[in-house]
Amino acid sequence: MASRVLTLFILIALCGGSSILSASAPALGAVRCEEQIRKALSEVPIEDSDIESIQVRRSGGGGRSSSNYSLDAWIRLKSCSSGYLMVALSSRCHVQDTYTKGGCQVSGL
């Protein structure tokens, strides 16, 4: 398996000067989850070169709760014409699930 050299929120230019990593404003605290996202990706049978982009989004909690939320890493793969590889994390960075969404299919998930 190829070494995972993904650094969240420090945008990395892989090819053609295009960044693959980004985060929505409420999810900027997810930088502390970088290691857990990297580990989850290392356990999925994909190559680093297949990753087009990663976006981390904060979800749940509603408008009144700042502590009851989760984080989702939406990974766009070049091999998927639609959909995403997903890594769901708790607000404390515990990986809850790794799965696909939409038309994306990854062997073993």
Beta strand 18-19 pairing with 84-90: unpaired
Q: Identify whether 17 is part of a domain.
A: yes
Entry pTM:
0.72
Total domains present in the chain: 1
Q: Identify whether 52 is part of a domain.
A: yes
Q: Can you give the residue range of the structural domain that contains 78? A: 13-60+67-101
Q: What is the CATH number of the domain that holds 89?
A: 3.30.160
Q: Identify whether 3 is part of a domain.
A: no
Between CA 61 and CA 50 the distance in angstroms is: 32
Backbone φ/ψ region at 82: left (φ over 0), alpha (ψ -120 to 50), beta = beta
Dihedrals phi, psi of 22, to nearest 5 degrees = -155, 170
Q: Identify whether 8 is part of a domain.
A: no
Q: Identify whether 73 is part of a domain.
A: yes
Q: Identify whether 83 is part of a domain.
A: yes
Higher-pLDDT residue of 68, 47:
47
pLDDT tens digits for 49-96?
Answer: 999 988 888 887 666 656 678 889 999 999 999 999 999 999 888 999
With a CB cutoff of 8 Å and minimum separation 6, the contacts of 64 are: none
Strand partners, 53: 76
CA 48 to chain centre: 13
Between CA 104 and CA 60 the distance in angstroms is: 24
Q: Identify whether 4 is part of a domain.
A: no
